[in-house]
Every structure is written in C-alpha cells, then in structure tokens.
Structure 1
Amino acid sequence: MAERSTLPLPDYDHLPLGGLEGRVRALTAEEVEELLVYERAHADRLAVTQVLTARLDQLHAGAEPTSGDPGGVRPEQHSSSSGSPVSPTTSPQPMSPPPHGTPDQRGKPKGDRT
C-alpha cells in the first residue's frame, strides 16, 4: 500500500474535490489505481472514489493523460495577499434597520390601518 509521501499527487490529502478532478487527468492508469487504493484504505470518501473510478474507466477506454495547465492556480498555492479586502474606505456607511417595514415602505401604526 502506498504511503502518503509516495503518492503521485503529494498534496492529495489536501486537495478539494474540484482540484482533484483537474489534477488526476495528468496521471496514468497505474497512478490513479494507486490513489484509489490509498483512498479506500484511508478516508474512503464516496465522491473521491467515484472521481477516481470514473477517470480510471476513461483511461482503460483509451483516454490519454493530459499535461494540464502548469501555470494554473492550485489550492496548495497561497496568494501573496492576506486578510480581508474590506477596509474603512470600501465598507458601506452603517445603517440601522427601520423599526418596522422597509426603507421604501414605512410601516403604519396600528391606529392608522383601515
């Protein structure tokens, strides 16, 4: 059984499902089988095993591994900026909600209803 450090995708355990779907396309059938064995022995997540099984079926049917986009952003790559993009200059003015009704339709006191 493969160890985490020897998997074809070293960051496999941290990939979200969407990231896995894109990255697994570059693997050979043997590498996908290795991931499938590892997944079944560890987390055994249904959605992940379905993705791996589907890709394995594609490869056995004649699909070729792709090179993928090496410049594409990967989940394991962190952007250089951190923190919230909201600042006092970009945040809206504070507003209190009206006591009843909406700002464009003010509520009426009970005595004024007819």
Structure 2
Amino acid sequence: MADPAHNALPLPDYDHLPLGSLESRVRSLGTDEVEELLAYERSHADRLPVTELLASRLEQLQAGAVPTSGDPGALRPEQSRGHGGSPVSPATSPQPFGAPPHGTPDQRGKPKGDRS
C-alpha cells in the first residue's frame, strides 16, 4: 500500500495518541483504514507495540470481526487543556515563620540520669 499522507489518516492526531487510546480507537476502523495506519506506522516511527497492535487488529478484521461503534474523532482526554500550573499563589501561601531552634553551641545537652 502507498505511504499515506499524515493529514489523510483515518484517526486525527494519530502520531500523538498514546497506545491505550489508540487501541480503543482502532476498533472503530475498517480493514482499509487499519491497513492505511499500519503502512503509515511502518514507514514512519515503526514502533513495535503499535505495529503489533495494528497487525493484530487487521488479522481480527480479516477473520470476520466487525468495527465497533464509536467516533474516532471524539474528545480525547489525553489532549484536554486543564487549567495547568500550580494552585499556589501568594494569597494561598501560609504566613512566614521562623523555625524553632534545635540547639545552639551554648546550650549543651543535659544528662538523663544514671544509666548503668
């Protein structure tokens, strides 16, 4: 199969999907689409876990499996744009304080009594 262009792949942002997310999304694709992804993967990153996943799914489809329902372009939690950063600010920081002293050279330890 010819090397497909990145923009023509059946899964949007294919290169940025983690393996676990890719595994669930590839189940919604048909044989031709999985073959297209497999050709793209082999000619680009050629990641062994990904090629094994795609080859396995391709075998399942050729053995009679049918694509499951789902939207390959659905919202992806791995690309969520949280507020990011730290919730700590000067308004939520505690007041500064001095640490308690833990002994100074002029304060020697006191004996604890007779220990024999």
Do both share a fold (TM > 0.5)?
yes
Normalising by the residue count of structure 1, what TM-score does the alignment of the two structures yield? 0.67
Aligned equivalent of 1:74? 76
Normalising by the residue count of structure 2, what TM-score does the alignment of the two structures yield? 0.66
- The structure with the largest alpha-carbon Rg is 2
1:65 is aligned to 2:44 = no
Aligned equivalent of 1:36? 38
2:12 is paired with a residue of what secondary structure? coil
Letter in 1 for 2:28: A
1:16 is aligned to 2:18 = yes
Distance apart, 1:10 and its partner CA:
2.0
Q: Percent identity?
A: 60
C-alpha separation in 1, matches of 2:16 and 2:77:
8
Alpha carbon RMSD of aligned pairs, Å? 3.3
Which runs of 5 or more structure 1 residues have no equivalent in the other structure? 90-95, 97-111
Count residues with an aligned counterpart: 97
C-alpha separation in 2, matches of 1:69 and 1:32:
15
Q: Which runs of 4+ in 1 moved over 4 A?
A: 84-89
Which runs of 5 or more structure 2 residues have no equivalent in the other structure? 93-98, 100-111
Matches within 5 A, 1:89-108: none
Deviations 1:50-97 (A, max 9, x none): 110111011011110011268x75145424x412575476xxxxxx9x
C-alpha separation in 1, matches of 2:19 and 2:41:
13
Deviations 1:29-52 (A, max 9, x none): 110000000000000000000110
C-alpha separation in 2, matches of 1:56 and 1:86:
46
